[in-house]
Amino acid sequence: MSPSRDDVLKALATVVDPATGRDLVSSGAAVGVSAKGGAVSFVIQVDPARGSAMEPLRRAAVAAVEALPGVEKVTAVLTAHADAQSSPRPAPKGPPPDLSFGAPKPAPASKRIEGVDRIIAIASGKGGVGKSTVSANLAVALAAEGLRVGLLDADVYGPSQPRMLGVSGRPSSPDGKTIIPLRNHGVTLMSVGLLTAEDEAVVWRGPMLMGALQQMLGQVAWGRLDVLLVDLPPGTGDVQLTLAQKAEVTGAVVVSTPQDIALLDARKALDMFAKTGVPILGIIENMSTFICPHCQGETQLFGHGGAKAEAARLGAPFLGEIPLDLAIRVAGDGGAPIVASQPGSPQAQAFRAIARALMAGALAPAE
């Protein structure tokens, strides 16, 4: 029988950090814990000053989990990019926040979000092209470049950013109205996934979706941000239209694979932004090429260069290529995007290059 997430947490609770005298669970160091089948993954957040000395603790945690019956594989990642706010917080005093996300509330007079300099939509016309993975890594990459970054997970039906950023716990509210987001890897995060169980379906019609987005934009205490990335759901529906109408969007980044069928849907996303007056800041080609980890041979599984050619056709910036790579997927599943967990890797540097391209364009300081 495969272990449950609770079984893994109990095992991790037996592992004590000798420097603090606290176990990995009660201290909030173990995050992003997942147990599916016999595969277990988790992230251990550590003080950056102690990063290189924490490998024995990671090995001890792996050994404790491997001892559980039914465990076949354990993936454990150390990250030194966590913020203090990412640790579980005690329940706040006062009334609970209104997180029901009912019908849309009246739009504010101004479309600007207080404290947020720029809003960038990350979109795709089609699901399955890795848009959320790109969003998470791009957010961490921009933070690593020194920007104050927020990430709004607007994919209400399939919120994946809490898992990818290794964030858990319910957001608090000091007054029952303002929602306090969570942080990790230098990124401030808000997601419906923080308000529901990971396996709980969100069954909402359009008005509920629009209400949820407006609340997450206007009732979240984002603080002072240089940029807020909005990870949009696939398609060109209610959420995309609401964002364009209710917020002052700096521009959109469209993610596609090189495959013709993905580019067909990417063109629909590009057309939607043109119709709503949102500038296109660039196109990213994800899963651009595959390098075999065994023979190092390169295979273009979905073709190559399609997104770059589409950007040239439209006169839009081509921001860069991201390879199809196992390490990127494992890092995301483990709650520490590869930009955070393996910052020196070629894969992480590809995301950093895209972040710098955005900073040189849409995010460049005004003269």
Q: How would you classify the pairing of strands 318-321 and 298-299? A: unpaired
Q: In the block, which residue shows the tokens 């993905």?
A: 262
Cite the beta strand spans of 223-324 per DSSP E: 227-231, 251-256, 280-285, 290-291, 298-299, 318-321
CA distance 300 to 291: 9
Was 131 annotated as part of a binding site?
yes
- The pair of three-digit structure tokens given for residue 228, joined into one six-digit string: 């807020």
127 is in an annotated binding site: yes
User: Which two tokens mark 362?
Assistant: 């849409």
Rounded CA-CA distance 216/154 in Å is 9
| Residue 129 annotated in ligand binding | yes
What phi and psi values does residue 130 have, to the nearest 5 degrees? 85, 25
For 171, residues 6+ apart whose C-beta sits below 8 A from its C-beta are 97, 99, 179, 180, 181, 182, 190, 194, 195
Strand order in the sheet with 119-123: 182-184, 187-191, 149-153, 227-231, 119-123, 251-256, 280-285, 318-321
Do the annotations mark residue 251 as ligand-binding? no
Is 100 known as a binding-site position? Answer: no
Q: Is 126 annotated as a binding residue?
A: yes
CA dist 198 and 201 (Å) reads: 8
Element (H, E) at 184: strand 182-184
**Is 24 in contact with 32 (CB distance < 8 Å)?**
no
Contacts of 360 (CB under 8 A, 6+ apart): none
CA dihedral 291, 292, 294, 297 (to 10 degrees): -70
**Binding positions for ATP:** 125-132
State the binding site: 125-132
